[in-house]
Chains A and B, each alone.
Chain A
Amino acid sequence: MSLHTLTIKELRNKLTAKEISPKDIVESLVKRIDSVDGKIKGYLRVNAKDAFAQAEKADISKPLGGIPIAIKDNIAVSDEGCTCSSKLLENYVSPYDATVIRKLKEAGAVLLGRTNLDEFAMGSSTENSAFGRTHNPWNLDCIPGGSSGGSAAVVAADEAIAALGTDTGGSIRQPAALCGCVGLKPTYGRVSRYGAVAFASSLDQIGPFTKTVEDSALVMNVISGYDQMENTSRPVDVPDFTKSLNAGIKGLRIGIPKEYFIDGMDKEVQTAVKKAIDWYAANGAEIIDVSLPNTEHAISVYYIVATAEASANLARFDGVRYGRRSPDGTDSINSYSKTREQGFGSEVKRRIILGTYVLSSGYYDAYYNRAQKVRQLLRRDFTEAFKKCDVILTPTSPTAAFKAGEKSDPLSMYLADIFTIAVNLAEVCGISIPCGFTSTNLPIGLQLIGSHFDEPRLLLAAHGYEQGHDWFKKKPSL
């Protein structure tokens, strides 16, 4: 029996029926990792010994008891590294748990290992990692998407049952689409950010990678909720997200924003998404045309707001209190410069410089202030659209996975997130689920967007589609 191929739901059934033990699952996964991760390179570190020790103690009466989960390496776990795929934090060890980690531990989950990412979550291909790129399980020459490419790849390759990632502009949904798994970006404030190394504080959210929508709901049940350690987390009720999954899509109003179906979109992606729309229509959902008129400004707004926040968030990495300090510094300020010059990769530097620029005296109003105003308009777009529909349907990414090294200029890389970033700017929730394959056997993702804190309806819409299709059963051959 290949336990590593199963879902949380399936494993939990076997565990509670005492057919298997948590150790069996870890064993199966460790073998799988040994055999395929040399090709995928989704993990930065796997601590098998520790995973077995956790499995030994795992309380299977807990909601995620005995389920191994991989963690993106920008989320703090006590006594573990948290490199953010940066040379600067290569030897840093976190003395505390992120809130989501505390919750996972309390729910009995087994923390299996740490996954690769674009340095400080800045990128869409997981090529910007100081520790080497991650490969797409469906085609090793292709990128897995990013920035949570490691988490997406290990779930798609059955090297983990589920994983956590972070999503600032699409960093969960886009790699989920490109690797053919389910990735959820919760509503801003739904999941505590405490312990996730901040890239852009007003956009970041932690969310799950899973093999099915139901598994996504199971992880959300554990990680959601108000946190007094996190000021922007919201004191809203956390429902049992699995409860509404089977309510059915009949009568569900699905909005199709015309701005997301643009020229230049990959034909196969377009076809797959159109087919999904037809399926919804055929199964009783109501298809409604909606407009998100400020969509064209989303990328510009994003790269101003996100880089501005990042320029301050990443200022703490100076080598004084922790992290790798350059030995070449001649005085304190020079030591900062050298540490950051040698410690950060070029994409991180590019964004810090951009963010510093847009906040500079004389430019603040023209860039940052203006971007915040346009962000309000984008938010209003979604509020208006959700008056007419329950969920919005779009492609997750304009293309399937592309070849490593293919997008060498930053701007074309930035466009990979064109369909996902408005969701972060509007602080609503979004999910990517598999909706087909290209002729070259690469997964295609469908994005569903829900209103603020409307994850139950979002999951319902995704689950309904998933139940009508077999895409999630297809596995890459490795």
Chain B
Amino acid sequence: MQYEAVIGLEVHAQVKTNTKMFCGCKNEYGGEQNTHVCPVCLGLPGALPTPNVEAIRQTILTGLMLDCRIAEVCKFDRKNYFYPDQSKNYQITQFDMPLCIGGGVVLDKYAFPKEVQKEAYAAEGKKIRLNRIHLEEDVAKSFHFDSESGIDFNRCGTPLMEIVSEADMRTPEEAFAYLTTLKRILNYGNVSDADMEKGQMRCDVNISVRPVGQEKFGTKCELKNLNTISGARRALAYEIQRQIEVVSKGGTITQETRRWDDATGQTYVMRSKENAHDYRYFPDPDLLPVRTDKGLKIEAEAKMPELPHKKKDRYINELQLSEYQAEVLAADKALADYFELAVSGTKHGPAIANYLINEFLATEPDTANILIPAKHFAQLADLVANGKINSKQAKEVLVDMLSSHEEPVKIVEKKGLAQVTDLGALETFCDEAIAANPKSVADYKSGKLGAINALKGFVMKKTKGQANPALIDEILQKKL
């Protein structure tokens, strides 16, 4: 029997704000342990929360980017459970009235793992529906030593969005593409850095299997501890295989929470459904509902960025980039911003895209902090377009520029690379070429047009490769 997997994702993304969700402490990754804390985020007796409007606005913006409906009122609830990484033993979250409802993520072909991008399903543009996005506070970080544990509360109380998808994914590759696309959109809106390595984006998975053609979902398991996008793909592949093996042997799946261990490449039971919590949600009486339909939503709308797929379309249609070029640049917001800075006021889109993708990216730069002034790329493209240097020379200049950060004109000067465009000089070289290669001239005249290349090669050699090939061609044809 053929089986298929049914996958839904819960993604937690830390919201980019100046301060924490309910207090004035800095929302900053790192920092000496327990230094970004105050009575509120430590849950000291008598301390009370106040909502961070910036975090609400950022979450609304996320909802707008993901095509969600925005709730008119932002209401918070308490989720009750005892755990040392919580300072109050309840988490302030949203239960029955999430800030964003519905919406979806369209999977981009290039968001799939490289080796499957050519598959038909990657090009489908499948939409993964979202169930909701709600806003809550993050918990602290626990550290376990030999005989005791420590807790760093710096992270406790930082704003966190939980983005819950519908169970619309069927393969680990779709989950991979979903996470990649989502991360890209969060970066675009500047709503989250979404760096999984820093724990700024974390992901839990609900997964079940069923015979192909069956409508009813199988019993699901929840996977935790998926710390990278590729790790999530591996975990899903393993778990699907595990569940299919159980089911195909006539066994049943137990509803449980399992932990992925990337080192062993396996999932392990954490807890079964019987031990599930009763979180006893109720509205947090310390926090008044916040209206979103007036100022906050309007402010968020004003911050709406051009989304990756729109940007890509524009690069193709207005800047004449190839689909591949447009995709690579649009995939990285910082790189795209840089590209647009370089290209602005020029008509060199494809050339600059080419420099950035083929040469610049190969140097593995930190695209968020590019040290080379963007206008240097424009200048380089100008030099080529104006016939000052040829494309072979351009590459030489580029390589130099990437390490020296010098202006292209300076590099051209420094290397003595100026292309020979002096007509008189070129005509002399062409005459020499014709005189020195009677056979090629004869061949050309008898119709073997390719023979002209030998004459061109002669001139190039004479000019040490610095002649403008188009110009030589023109002169030779005239003379012959």
Contact = CB atoms under 8 A, between A and B. Distances in A.
Interface of A: 74-76, 82, 84, 89, 92, 94-96, 98, 193-198, 200-202, 228-232, 308-309, 311-312, 315-318, 320-322, 332-333, 336, 356, 359-361, 364, 368
Given A89-B45, A315-B80, A315-B89, A202 B280 contact: no
Interface stretch (B36-44, B127-135, B338-346): B36-44
Given A229-B50, A312-B282, A321-B44, 14 more contacts: A76-B44, A94-B44, A96-B47, A193-B48, A197-B46, A201-B286, A231-B50, A309-B285, A316-B87, A318-B82, A336-B82, A359-B281, A360-B278, A364-B280
Contacts of A197: 45-46
A195 B89 contact: no
A318 B89 contact: yes
Contacts, number: 103
A202 B284 CA distance: 9
Interface residues of B, number: 31
A356 B50 CA distance: 25
Contact of A196 (B46, B151, B287): B46
A98 B288 CA distance: 20
A333 B149 CA distance: 13
A277 to B, nearest CB: 35
Contact of A316 (B48, B50, B89, B278): B89
A231 B87 contact: no
B84 interface: yes
A427 B304 CA distance: 41
Contacts of A230: 48, 50
B43 A356 contact: no
Contact of A198 (B48, B282, B288): B48
Contacts of A98: 46
B89 A333 contact: no
Interface SS, A side: loop
B278 to A, nearest CB: 5
A232 B49 CA distance: 10
A144 to B, nearest CB: 24
Contacts of B48: 193-194, 198, 201, 229-231
Nearest to A314: B89
Interface of B: 39, 42-51, 78, 80, 82-84, 87-90, 149, 151, 278, 280-282, 284-288
A360 B44 CA distance: 26
Nearest to B23: A229
B240 to A, nearest CB: 31
Contact of A321 (B50, B87, B288): B87
28 contacts: A74-B45, A94-B44, A96-B39, A96-B47, A194-B47, A198-B48, A201-B48, A201-B286, A228-B50, A231-B49, A231-B50, A232-B285, A232-B287, A311-B80, A312-B78, A315-B80, A315-B82, A315-B89, A316-B45, A316-B87, A316-B89, A317-B45, A321-B87, A356-B280, A359-B80, A359-B280, A360-B280, A364-B280
Contacts of B80: 311-312, 315, 359
Contacts of B288: 231-232
B82 A201 contact: no
Which one of B43, B48, B88 has the highest number of Cβ atoms from chain A below 10 Å of its Cβ? Answer: B48
Contacts of A84: 45
B280 A315 contact: no
Contacts of A311: 80, 280
Contacts of A94: 44-46
Contacts of A201: 48, 284-286
Contacts of A309: 285
